[in-house]
Amino acid sequence: MLLALPRWWRRWVAALLQAALQAVDPSPTASPPELPLPPPCDADDADDADAALAAETGGAYGYGGRLAALRRREFSRLTGSAYCDHAGATLPSEALLGDVCAALQRAVLGNPHSGGGESERAAEAAAAATLAWLKAPPGRYTVVFTANATAALRLLGEAFPWEAGSRFRRG
């Protein structure tokens, strides 16, 4: 389903994409792109935007009120605010926090590389579940856990066979 996004949001995203493309494939004379600032965001704006999108889509936006119910149930700490930094760190839901806290109370988890124990078994189980979910054969693929996306991209960049004529493929 396509969401009808406000015009200001579409313009901002288009400007970000243009800046990203210039950064990836700059012309020899181009100056570094200037990234646009995001539009201001507050709770009233978010509520107004939700109402407008619901009206524009005949109630399809928000999945018939289920999205608002999920926000009230799982993200009640956001009442009166709009969280706009999902690229930096998406907030965990109440259910996830409860599950993680319960698991941490039952297990002794430390560095899985210290050898053996629950930590190593948990890491191996997570890797196996990831491979199964991706339908990737374990003998052919390996899951590598990193601290974040930046660390993962750094590993990929360092492992790429850089040589004359080598290229990344875009698209």
Query: What confidence tens digit (pLDDT) does each residue in 97-153 have?
Result: 999 899 888 888 888 777 778 888 888 899 999 999 999 999 999 998 888 888 988
Residue 115 lies in a domain: yes
Residue 137: predicted pLDDT: 94
**Count: domains in the chain:** 1
- In terms of residue numbers, what domain contains 148? 111-161
SS (H, E, C) 70-126: HHHHHCHHHCCCCCCCCCCCCCCCHHHHHHHHHHHHHCCCCCHHHCCHHHHHHHHHH
Residue 142 lies in a domain: yes
Q: How many C-beta atoms lie closer than 10 Å to residue 61's C-beta?
A: 20
Residue 137 lies in a domain: yes
Residue 94 lies in a domain: no
Residue 152 lies in a domain: yes
Distance CA 49, CA 3 (A): 12
Residue 2 lies in a domain: no
